[in-house]
Chain A
Amino acid sequence: MYTGKLVLREYLSDPVGFARSILVFAVLVGLCLFVFSLPAMFAEIRVGPHQTAEYDLLVTGAVPAEGVERASGTGADVLPVYRWGGNLSTNGDDAGRFDTWIVGDMTAAAEMTELNSRYLVEGSYEEGHAVVSKDLADRLGVGVGDTVTYRPAGLDEAVEYEVSGVVRPASYGRRTIVLGDTGGLTARIASTTREVPSLNNASTVYGAAYVDCADASQCRDAREALASDLASVTTKEEQIEKQRTSVERFTGSPVVRAAPIVGFALYGLIYLRRALLRADRHETTYGVLRSLGASRRAPIAHILLDNAVVLTLTTVLGTLLAAQIYQRAMGIFVPMGPLLELSGTAFGLNAVIIGVVSAVVVYRHANRDVVEMLEGR
């Protein structure tokens, strides 16, 4: 019991040093864990059921009665999601044509885009309001509380929306749409619209592109351009397959296989050094404890307790850090399930390393007698 207090008092006597030490090891654990779990996490999240949608304008709740089509394609009724092409303006300034996502309810919006956890940087999602991308907000000079006018293609009346939120554009760029299995959109062009430049200025509704042609020649050119683009467009299935192949190649590479082993070995060595230095520093204290009548178990309990504290803290912080690295580096939010799994992995690997190191330190300590400890020999 008193060894616990002793450990705690020591930490409290130098909280900055203790925090720094924990942080260093947490970073090491986090990095090792990131590399170690990369293949599994990559495969599960990247190709899994989660989806990412990016957009310039999102309107929730207000679904116009006409002028748009219900989502169709894979499963048709999966989500009440609508995509709309039209012109957006504010204060009379035309901001150009934008693809608009309209979803029937908040849950669907959040589910489709994971906006709540990932992209919203200002304001909130509100019924009947618009959420605009940061890029668009900057270009239009609008923010939360301002009004934008949207004139959908095929409708005479413009619709006004008050901006309730601003979202951070992700790395794919403007107009990019990547959808997964439950996105509720067409499987035909489940790709980035960047790959279909001929559609960028067209009215598009769920894979159907409407190009206004002034004459037959223009229409022919448009068709040819589209045909040329579509030949290079990646379908959703192809995209997933491509990802899977890429993941397999990546995870199967010798570097990726060796990296976690090297990483954890390095971590183990650094931790061993810390543990030995620490045990040496406490040698006199252990000697004093023994001279006061403490049994051999007291210093060992002190060593084990310290390591248990480090194990727990570095596991928790390292796991969170690894999740952050995923999120920042790969644009993937790590949900609770994989996070817990990751935490379990971290705890297991960390426990093995710290356990081995503790055993080494305890063994080394057990071979020293009290006089040696007191004299620091």
Chain B
Amino acid sequence: MMLRAEDCTRRYDDQVALDGIHFAADRGEFVAIYGPSGSGKTTLLNLLGLLDTPDAGRIQFDGVDVGSLEPADRDAIRARHVGFVFQSFRLVPYLSATENVRLALSAAGIEPSEGRVDDTLRAVGLAGKEGRKPAELSHGEKQRVGIARALVKGPDVVLADEPTGNLDVETGERVLDLMARFNDDGVTFVIATHDEAVAAFADEVLTIRDGAFSADGMLPPDA
């Protein structure tokens, strides 16, 4: 398994956000973590994306227990192998679409090859809008920039937190189609959503509630 969470628990003060959860995703999978607001979806994504560490349990990436790594090494894994897509896009407002995407490469310390950024923007359907700033783009286009930013470095897995949460149904479907297209190319997608229709796009749906997967969605510890 490329990405695995074993018996992970995460608490915030006295509140248990994740309660001994197990999760696994392999290359090329499209997994949806489906649950209501506050169920622990984002917390799990943060753990899987190495943005956060569990209070108990462990996260494995390509067989490596990331809990045993130095923060800089975790940063390096995130830089090279993980892409994020946020519900509210999180684009830098004073940078153009191209610059926002290129920022992902710069932050990861990757020297962009000729045309890589433009190719990625073109792939998400933003040809001709490379120079526009976020304020000049529609919500759907902003999310496309967000997806391009996540994909430009060629990650193994993209973690998307409510990627259609700020989009209308039609635009949301287009964004999901886009993700599915890249998934067909071998990129693993893990999306967190509270929308059943969005979850239905995934190959596998795990239902989460109160920090734990429901019986039908929980994976066995030895999966």
Q: Which residues of A contact B (CB under 8 A)?
A: 1-2, 5-6, 9-10, 12-14, 284-285, 287-296, 298, 369-371, 374
> Once the chains bind, are A292 and B104 in contact (CB under 8 Å)?
yes
Q: Please, how many angstroms separate the alpha-carbon atoms of A371 and B107 in the complex?
A: 17
- Of residues 50 through 108 on chain B, the ones whose CB sits less than 8 Å from some CB of chain A are 51-52, 71-72, 75-76, 78-80, 82, 84, 86, 90, 92-95, 99, 103-104, 106-108
**A295 touching B94, Cβ below 8 Å:** no
Q: CB within 8 Å of A: which of B136-182?
A: 149, 153
Question: Given A2-B103, A285-B92, A371-B46, are A292 and B108 neighbors across the interface (CB < 8 Å)?
Answer: yes
Most buried by A among B51, B52, B133, B153: B51
From A13, A285, A374, give the contact of B51 (CB < 8 A): A374
Q: Which residues of chain A are near B71, meaning CB under 8 Å?
A: 296
Q: Which residues of A contact B92 (CB under 8 A)?
A: 6, 285, 288
Since A284-B90, A293-B80 are in contact, a sample of 9 more A-B pairs with Cβ atoms closer than 8 Å, ordered by chain A residue number, is A9-B99, A13-B133, A287-B90, A288-B86, A292-B79, A292-B103, A370-B46, A370-B52, A371-B52
Q: Which residue on chain B has the smallest CB distance to residue A2?
A: B106
Residue among A2, A6, A293 with most chain B CB within 10 A: A293
Task: Identify which of B72, B95, B99, B149 contacts A292 (C-beta below 8 A).
Answer: B149
A291 CB contacts on chain B under 8 angstroms = 49, 51, 78, 84, 90
B86: min CB distance to chain A, Å: 8
* Residues of chain B from 24 to 61 with CB closer than 8 A to chain A in the complex: 46, 49, 51-52
> Cβ of B107 and Cβ of A370 under 8 Å apart?
no
Question: A295: which B residues are within 8 A, CB to CB?
Answer: 72, 75
Per-residue CB contact flags for chain B residues 112-134 toward chain A (1 = under 8 Å, else 0) read: 00000000000000000000010
- Are B90 and A374 interface neighbours, CB within 8 A? yes
Are B84 and A292 within 8 A (Cβ)? yes
Bound complex: CA of A254 vs CA of B94, how far in Å? 48
Distance in Å: Cβ of B78 to nearest Cβ of chain A: 5
The 9 residue pairs across chains A and B that have the minimum distance between CB atoms: A293-B79, A13-B94, A2-B106, A294-B107, A292-B107, A293-B108, A370-B51, A291-B84, A293-B78
Distance in angstroms between the alpha carbons of A109 and B94 in the assembled complex: 55
> What are 10 sample pairs from A and B whose C-beta atoms fall under 8 A apart?
A9-B94, A289-B103, A292-B78, A292-B104, A293-B78, A294-B75, A296-B71, A369-B51, A369-B52, A370-B46
